[in-house]
Structure 1
Amino acid sequence: MRLRALLDTDALGLRLLGGQDELDRAVRGVMTTDLRDPSRYLSGGELVLTGLAWRRGAADSEPFVRLLAGAGVAALAAGEAELGPIPDDLVVACARHRLPLFAVNESVAFATITEHVVRQVSGERAGDLAAVVDRHRRMMTSGPAGGGPDVVLDLLGSDLDLRAWVLSPVGRLVAGPRLAEAELPAGVRAALAGEHLAAVRTGRRGPYRATVGPTTYSLFPVRGGGRGTAGARDVRETVLSEWLLAVEADAGDWPAERLDLLEGVTQLIAVERDRRDAARTVRRRLAREVLELVQTGAAPAEIAARLRVAAPVLLPGLGAAPHWQVVVARVEWDAWDDAKGGPASSSAEDGGGRRTDGLEGGPVAQALLEEILVDPLSSGPEPSDRIAVAHTGDEAVALVPLPAVSSGQDGSGHDGSGTGLLADAILAAVRDPLSAGLDGDGRLTLGVSAAVHSAEGLRGALEEARHARRVAAARPGRVCAAGHQELASHVLLLPFVPDDVRRAFTARLLDPLRDYDRRHRAELIPTLEAFLDSDGSWTRCAARLHLHVNTLRYRVGRIEQLTGRDLSRLEDKLDFFLALRMS
């Protein structure tokens, strides 16, 4: 706003004492001070309010005004409540330094002036920022990205003093202020994502109000042009894949202009989301091609060749021969009768016995996996570039590359059963927000395979992940996950367990020992067989193998180290026994 506008507002009680020719100066803020030297707290363009407590004599006015003029303030307003009329020495000093001077009537509080100026300046800045947002959006839709959402979020902070963050549906930080003090804790992000998903399911129009601890946030949905609700038959088709803009403010009493501005910001973020989805098209296609080869029983050499061709896209920076894990996800919905306000009485049933109403869960599960499998400590869309997810019908399948583990002291190079993604860790990160989005009539189930170190193991890993997902589906809860560790030997004895799952279990347990035997001729497999046949008796086994007991103990210790198992436990003995019999 301009200084001239201050004089046009009678409620402010301002009287101009000097600086008639400077009234077109812009006011960018307000500062109230009685410091003798407030220059360190000034950045230029302020209207400085003072009660003159700094003035002890006529000689104090000149240095005070000189400091204000040097800092580039817009004007000085002195109150008459404490000392009466403004002293002439202050008027003279302001005239010498061409600093406009106002007298503030004793009946007017400084807070009244401050509130008026801040409100007017905020409105002006909002208009300027709206123009920036619109220009930025045009840049992003017509050419290379102009900096992404971070640029506009920084503008919201600097020009409107609004802290804002872009979050994924599972609460991952996509973008936010760059200042360290503006970091949003993971627990708060998850709570806001859950509040947003629950609000979207109600059909209310955003922004949504959410309170986490002592802080109130306003949540604005980010609906992309390529994935928005316009083409969706049901909100459930998009609710679990939308980003949100969380603003640390209560937008309930905002004017329409500011709400329109934030809507423009969400549209800009949606452009970035659509751009990122377009960039994922190639990875999704490659994942689908690999998945089709695996499912149709193609030769491992053919699968390996396809992976080598896809390596530059699927494995940027990782090399050509990583370990792999497979994650399978399924999103299922109960049919819903709007007239009855509850589940429909008749509808098709899926393979798991849940009713569905024709909603295709594959695309939703695909988008969810692409968010869930990003490192939770990372931010921005880029870390997800290594996640390749395909979908078929209601199922989504992710191929997750893991960096090849360097050889350990034993030289085996095996990653072991503890490497890679764990179902429990995935579940802990997403359970709360996604349960809110599933809202009593939907389920997400996940299955995680063990890591495999060749294309030959991918088919077994896929079946293992699918079977683990079925184990998760048998549990109560809206969001459930199970990993390969839960496919214990007693489960493998069940008649409906696929042969590929049994083979994957056997390979995971015995391949480290076979590889070690090939490298070192250590005879760990024969030692294991003899140890089990001897019922775990050290003396009988040593005699049978013609070994010293200490040598036998060394070999058994190596077996336990390579497999992560304990041969003193009955469960581990049983697993080894079955693996040897099925191999």
Structure 2
Amino acid sequence: MKLRALLAMGDLHLEVITGEDELDRTIRWVVTTDLLEPGRYLSGRELVLTGLVWRSEPGDSEVFVRALAKAGVSALAAWDLVAGNIPDDLVDACRRYGLPLFKVAPDVAFATITEHVVRRLSTARAADLAAVLDRHRQLVAGVAEGAGLDAVLDLVGRDLGMRCWVLTPTGRVVAGSHPLPGRVDPAALARAFLTAPRLPHRLAGAGTSIFPVAEDTVSRVADWFIACEGDWEEWPAERRALTGELAAIVALERARLDDRLSVEGRLAQELVRLVVSAAAPDEVLPRLELTGLDARSSFVAVAAAARGPLRPGELRTVLAEALPGPRPVVGLLDDEAIALLPVGDGGRDVAGEVQRALEALAPGLEGSGLALGVSDVVTAGELRGAVEEARYARRLAAGRTDPVCVVGHGELATHVLLLASVPDDVRHMFRVRLLDPLRTYDEVHKADLIRTLETFLQNSGSWTRCAEQLHLHVNSVRYRIQRIEELTGRRLSRLEDRVDFFLALRLG
């Protein structure tokens, strides 16, 4: 904003006393002072307002104006309300130092001048900054593949005096114009983002406002969010609009960092599919190296599925965010996300680390949930068995009601660990041959043979307990077991046949 713009503000009634040829100077801010030597509080290009309380003798004007000129002030606006004039010594001092001087009308308050000028400056800055941010958005989208968010947030902080940060729903700080103040807890910001009934949301205790990045297209647990100092409800319209522009830039940067469409992402997806399909080691190990993993390392497999509206791509994002350590490989198998995580020499409680990381998301999972399974530590050559083990553990977790449930390999029974190493086609054929005759019979006759078999085995072959649990007569249970034996050619009095039925039911 230039000095001559002050004269166009008719409500201010400012009059030029000196410096008519300096009206193209720019104003950065407005400062009111009654100090004789205010230089240490000035940083240049201010419009200074004063009521001359500092003046006790004519020589004071020289001291005052010299301090303003040395600080690089753009102009001075003054009026002595008590004397009803501007003293000649102040006018002379302003002429000597080349400082434009404006006369303030007696009926115009300094607060009114400040309000008008600050509003004009804020509007201009918001427009200028929006243009800069728009240019940066184009750069992020196309030209500047390596551009980041720190520079944009620093620009917002420097030009608007508004410090901002970008965080994930787990409370991880992605970028910021400054370090988070000690009074601001990132976990509290994340919890407020996940649970706020509406966004934007003001977090009163932290003096911070929270904005979504892509509220209409991404679930909150998979979105990033922006935290800005101040109360957004008190901001002018221009600043509110600026947060929308900033959110668009953050969304672009997040999309740029999403590796699903990158070479690395495609390699990760291919590696997961190879491992699950039981590809030979000479196919898996080279792909492992291509993804940046060391085939000599030890690994843990993690399987994850979501209950509720969370989409597979969002599930993959959440899993990658929650996994500890560097460089996990994450791929999708239909609605299930599979990760291969290098763990060095082992000895880590990966299931516990993932559980703690995901618990931060629990407040945002109302009506939905996450189920995860974590395998034991294995070598690169044992990855397929580890993935199967993790998937079994994930199925066990899915049967529980917690918003976030992580089951580690230690909770799996021995037979599950054994079955995890059996090829899919063999397990499928085993299950079909043993149980399909019973399922077909149940569909036709509504005989409930499968449920009877499972209850009979759960009660260790006790006719009485099985009958009580099914609310049947013992003779009815005997009839059903006889029909099961006739349809399958097995005898439930034999231990090996009971074991086969037990395993087939677990595979189902």
Q: Call closer, same or farther: CA 1:99–1:302 in 2, change over 3 Å.
A: same
Gaps of at least 5 residues in structure 2 are 423-508
**One-letter code aligned to 1:439:** E
- Per the alignment, residue 35 of structure 2 pairs with 35
Partner of 1:538: none
CA contact (8 A) 2:32 2:48 kept: yes
- The C-alpha deviation readout for 1:1-34, integer Å capped at 9, x for no partner, is 2222323334435343222222222111012223
Q: Deviation per CA, 1:403-433, whole angstroms, max 9, x where unpaired? A: x3xxxxxxxxxx343x2x5333333333243
What is the aligned partner in structure 2 of residue 439 from structure 1?
A: 366
Structure 1 pair 72/182, CA: closer, same or farther in 2 (3 Å)? farther
* SS class of match (1:222): coil
Of the three residues 398, 402, 426, the one matched with 2:354 is: 426
What residue number does 1:389 align with? Answer: 330
Residue in 1 aligned with 2:203? 211
Which letter maps to 1:371?
A: E
CA distance in 1, matches of 2:279, 2:176: 45
The corresponding residue for 1:72 is: 72
Q: Matches of 1:181 and 1:49 in 2, distance apart?
A: 33
Tell me the amino acid that sits aligned with residue 51 of structure 2: G
Distance 2:271 2:107 in 1: 78
| Structure 1 unaligned regions, length at least 5 | 200-206, 230-234, 334-358, 376-382, 405-414, 504-583
Say whether 1:322 aligns with 2:297.
yes
The equivalent of 2:246 in structure 1 is: 265
Q: Work out whether residues 324 and 354 of structure 2, in 8 Å CA contact, stay in contact via their aligned partners in 1.
A: no
CA offset digits 1:123-180 (Å, max 9, x no partner): 1011111111122222233312363222221111111222222222433221111356
1:515 corresponds to: none
Give, as a single letter, the amino acid of the residue that structure 1 aligns with 2:336: E
TM-score normalized with structure 2 length: 0.75
Cα distance change on mapping 1:146 and 1:289 into 2, 3 Å: closer
Q: Which residue of 2 aligns with 1:362?
A: 312
CA drift of 1:91 comes to: 0.8
User: Does the 8 Å CA contact 2:55/2:61 hold for their aligned counterparts?
Assistant: yes
CA distance in 2, matches of 1:287, 1:500: 26
* 3-state SS, counterpart of residue 73 of structure 1: coil
**3-state DSSP class of the match of 1:246?**
strand
- 1:293 correspondence with 2:274: yes
**1:392 corresponds to which letter in structure 2?**
L
Instruction: Give the fraction of aligned pairs with identical amino acids, expressed as a percent.
Output: 45
Q: Note the 1:451-470 alignment, pairs <5 A.
A: 451-452=377-378, 454-470=379-395
> 1:492 corresponds to which residue?
413
Specify which of 244, 248, 252 is matched with residue 229 of structure 2: 248
Q: Return the letter of the residue paired with 1:222.
A: A
Specify the alignment match of 1:56 in structure 2: 56
Q: Deviations over 1:186-240 (max 9, x none)?
A: 22332243146x64xxxxxxx52232525241413337xxxx73xxxxx7xx444
Partner SS, residue 34 of structure 2: coil
**Count of equivalent residues:** 422
CA distance in 2, matches of 1:428, 1:15: 66
Matched, 1:373 2:323: yes
Partner of 1:139: 139
Q: Which has the larger radius of gyration?
A: 2
| Deviates most, 64-73 or 79-88 | 79-88
- Structure 1 pair 182/165, CA: closer, same or farther in 2 (3 Å)? farther
Task: Give the CA deviation at 1:276.
Answer: 1.6
Matches within 5 A, 1:4-403: 4-12=4-12, 14-82=14-82, 84-145=84-145, 147-179=147-179, 181=181, 184-195=184-195, 199=198, 207-222=199-214, 229=217, 238-252=219-233, 254-278=235-259, 281-308=262-289, 310=290, 313-315=291-293, 321-333=296-308, 361-373=311-323, 386-402=327-343
2:441 maps to none
Q: Is the 8 A contact 1:208 1:218 kept in 2?
A: yes
Q: Deviations over 1:354-386 (max 9, x none)?
A: xxxxx68432211211222266xxxxxxx6xx2
> Contact (CA 8 Å) 2:296, 2:380: kept in 1 or not?
no
CA distance in 2, matches of 1:287, 1:128: 42
Tell me the CA shift for residue 47 of structure 1: 0.8
**Is the contact between residue 221 and residue 266 of structure 1 (CA under 8 Å) also seen in structure 2?**
yes
Residue 397 of structure 1 deviates from its aligned partner by 0.7
Say which SS state the counterpart of residue 127 (structure 2) adopts.
helix
Q: Verify the 8 A CA contact 2:213 2:251 in the aligned structure 1.
A: no
What is the one-letter code of the residue matched to 2:397? A
What does the per-residue CA deviation read over 1:305-342, in whole Å, with 9 as the maximum and x for residues that have no partner?
Answer: 3323x2xx434xxx553222222111122xxxxxxxxx
Q: In the alignment, is the contact (CA less than 8 A) between 2:298 and 2:380 conserved in 1?
A: no
Matched residue type, 1:122: S
SS in 2 for 1:298: coil
- Judged with a 3 Å threshold, the aligned counterparts in structure 2 of structure 1 residues 143 and 480 are, in CA distance, closer, same or farther, namely same
Q: Which secondary structure does the structure 1 equivalent of 2:227 belong to?
A: strand
**AA of the residue aligned to 2:404:** V
The 1:213/1:183 distance shift into structure 2, 3 A limit, reads closer
C-alpha distance in 2 between matches for 1:501 and 1:179: 47
Deviation per CA, 1:424-454: give whole Å up to 9, x if none: 3333333243432x332x11112222333x2
- In the TM superposition, what is the alpha-carbon distance from 1:457 to its structure 2 partner? 2.7
Q: Partner amino acid for 2:371? A: T
Contact 1:216 1:248 in 2 (8 A): yes
Contact 2:329 2:341 in 1 (8 A): yes
Q: Which region of structure 1 is more displaced relative to structure 2, 115-124 or 288-297?
A: 288-297
What SS does the aligned partner of 1:325 have?
Answer: strand
Q: Measured at CA, do residues 477 and 109 of structure 1 come closer, stay the same or move farther in structure 2, by a change above 3 Å?
A: farther
- The superposition leaves residues 469-527 of structure 1 with CA deviations (integer Å, 9 ceiling, x where unpaired) of 2343333321222323x42xxx525x5x2415699xxxxxxxxxxxxxxxxxxxxxxxx
Q: Tell me how far 1:89 sits from its aligned partner.
A: 0.8
Amino acid at match of 1:449: S
Give, in whole Å, the separation in 2 of the partners of 1:82 and 1:395. Answer: 79
Secondary structure of 1:76's aligned partner: strand
Task: Give secondary structure in 1 for the equivalent of 2:225.
Answer: strand
Which TM-score applies when normalising by structure 1?
0.66
Q: In structure 2, what is the Cα distance between the partners aligned to 1:426 and 1:33?
A: 57
- Measured at CA, do residues 267 and 183 of structure 1 come closer, stay the same or move farther in structure 2, by a change above 3 Å? farther
Per-residue CA deviation, residues 40-71 of structure 1 (Å, 9 max, x unaligned), is: 22221101122323333211211321221122
